[in-house]
Chains A and B, each alone.
Chain A
């Protein structure tokens, strides 16, 4: 039985200000740190594209099913995020190891010829993020002080 109640003068002013603010609303990226790539800025895609996230897409198990290339993309283009963290975990589970000086991922191509307390030496596959591809490197010395 309360029915509508008339807006007082101050409410009308508040409404005008709110209405003005309505036309430049905060966007998701306004509350996120600047990223080099892939800002958090939803873009309307054709409705027949999947509009919701894949289920469990923020778990290591999900990332382990991604291709190695995809993991490298996530690692280098989503840095500082949970996605990068999960991609790194998935890579490690596939015996990739991060070289903190070259900032590249290496994987043994065969048993190293030399292994001692300081380093191992042999043939490796590594992912070159500048040329964006996997390369083979023979006679490479992986110093353990650079093993992440």
Chain B
């Protein structure tokens, strides 16, 4: 019967594109906001 493809951790009904938060082929959750690199002003790089 194949798999229930809705159970692979991808929000297939999302209005947004999935690839910008795609966490990879072996992850069953999309990336969270803290996983996604973002171009912040260099001053924010406090560390």
Contacts and interface: CB of A to CB of B under 8 A. Distances in A.
Q: Do chains A and B touch in the complex (CB under 8 A)?
A: yes
A80 B25 CA distance: 24
Given A26-B26, A28-B27, A75-B44, A80 B32 contact: no
Contacts of B45: 79-80
Interface residues of A, number: 32
Interface in B21-47: 21, 23-24, 26-27, 29-38, 40-41, 43-47
Contacts of B31: 40
B26 A88 contact: no
Contacts of A83: 32-34, 36
Interface of B: 21, 23-24, 26-27, 29-38, 40-41, 43-47
